[in-house]
Amino acid sequence: MPLFSRFVIAAAMLTAGWVNCFVFVEITPEQASSMQRFDLHVQEHETLDDETQVEQTTRGLNQIALLLHNQWPQLGGWSTLLAWSAAALELIAGVLLLVGLFSRLSAFVVCIIMGMALYLVSCKINGMFSMNPFDWPLQRGAFAQLFTEMCLFVLALGIVSGGPGLLSIDRFQAAKHYDSNLSSKKGTKKGEV
């Protein structure tokens, strides 16, 4: 099971990290004006549909920075650095969990990221914990997001507590270290120093 958990978390973190770091996503005019107020980069593109409209886009991580600005205005410019850090850590944790290297540490980082996502998005923005839980399924997008965040948190917590599983670099390194210690102990006889 840890192998499958690692692959699921890695797929989620790699794709989310990639979008946050490298993909420009469409934003609303309200989000664009808020981002420009905080000196976050917004691009404008003209669409060539039936009528000419201006589409505004920004890096995915700027949405994270805006969330942090709105939640904790006292952060100032630090929210952009925190957003870059979160996006980069999603990518790095995804790669490390995929190959099973530093798995427990990477899974712990995922727990922190998912905990913050639960707090900022599901609790503060979507207000899921202020409504009746039996009304959650009526909010389809927020409901799916809440349980995705909780599932990824629980899967990562399982890796933190149980380890990466058999097919991982961590397990290979531990076995190699154990074998070298065992062979060095067999080489010395009792009573020898």
Task: Please report the sign of the dihedral spanned by the C-alpha atoms of residue 41, residue 42, residue 43, residue 44.
Answer: negative
- Whether 190 is in a domain gets the answer no
pLDDT score, position 7 = 95
- HSE value, Cβ hemisphere, 13 Å, CA-based, for 122: 21
Cα–Cα distances in Å, from 185 out to 171, 180, 182, 191? 21, 9, 5, 12
| Enclosing domain of residue 140 | 2-23+60-162
Cα-trace Rg, the chain: 22
Q: What is the pLDDT of residue 78?
A: 92
Residue 82 falls inside a structural domain:
yes
pLDDT one-digit tens code per residue, 19-39: 999 999 999 999 999 998 888
Per-residue pLDDT 10s for the chain (193 aa) are 889 999 999 999 999 999 999 999 999 999 999 998 888 889 988 776 666 678 899 999 999 999 999 999 998 889 999 999 999 999 999 999 999 999 999 999 999 999 999 999 999 888 888 889 999 899 999 999 999 999 999 999 999 999 998 888 888 887 777 667 766 676 655 555 4
In a domain, 132, yes or no: yes
Q: Judge whether 68 lies within some domain.
A: yes
Cα 181 from Cα 187, distance rounded (Å): 10
The answer to whether the Cα torsion of 95, 101, 107, 112 is positive or negative is negative
Q: Is residue 153 part of a domain?
A: yes
**Number of structural domains found in the chain:** 1
In a domain, 98, yes or no: yes
pLDDT at 119: 93
